[in-house]
Amino acid sequence: MNQRMMVVVAVGIMFMVPSVVLAQHASWGSVLKTAGQAAVQQMCPQAQTTLDQAKKLGAGSAQENFLIAKAKEFLAAGNYQPALDLANYVVTTLNSKSIDAKKIMADAKAALMKMAQDKLAPSQKKVADAQQIKTDASQTVTGIKNLFGGQK
* pLDDT computed for residue 12 by the predictor: 53
Distance, CA of 101 to CA of 120 (rounded, Å): 28
79 within domain boundaries = yes
Tell me which of 109 and 44 has the higher pLDDT.
109
* pLDDT computed for residue 87 by the predictor: 94
Q: What is the domain range of residue 103?
A: 3-119
Q: Contact at 8 Å (CB) between 98 and 90?
A: yes
Distance, CA of 118 to CA of 120 (rounded, Å): 5
Residue 5 has pLDDT above 60, yes or no: no
Q: Total domain count for the chain?
A: 1
Distance, CA of 66 to CA of 72 (rounded, Å): 10
81 within domain boundaries = yes
73 within domain boundaries = yes
- What torsion do the CA atoms of 21, 99, 37, 70 make, to the nearest 10 degrees? 160
130 within domain boundaries = no
Q: In this predicted model, what pLDDT tens digit does every residue of 100-134 receive, in sequence order?
A: 999 999 999 999 888 888 777 667 666 766 777 77
* pLDDT computed for residue 148 by the predictor: 80
27 within domain boundaries = yes
Distance, CA of 75 to CA of 104 (rounded, Å): 7
* pLDDT computed for residue 150 by the predictor: 62
Q: Contact at 8 Å (CB) between 87 and 105?
A: yes
47 within domain boundaries = yes
Average pLDDT over residues 19-38: 50
Q: What is the CA radius of gyration of the chain?
A: 24
- Strand, coil or helix: 150: coil
State if pTM tops 0.75: no
106 within domain boundaries = yes
* pLDDT computed for residue 86 by the predictor: 94
Rounded to 5 degrees, what angle do the CA atoms 87, 48, 75 make? 40
Residue 2 has pLDDT above 70, yes or no: no
Of the CA atoms within 13 Å of residue 51, those in its CB half-sphere come to: 23
Out of 29-43, 52-66, 111-125, 137-151, the most confident range is: 52-66
146 within domain boundaries = no
* pLDDT computed for residue 32 by the predictor: 47
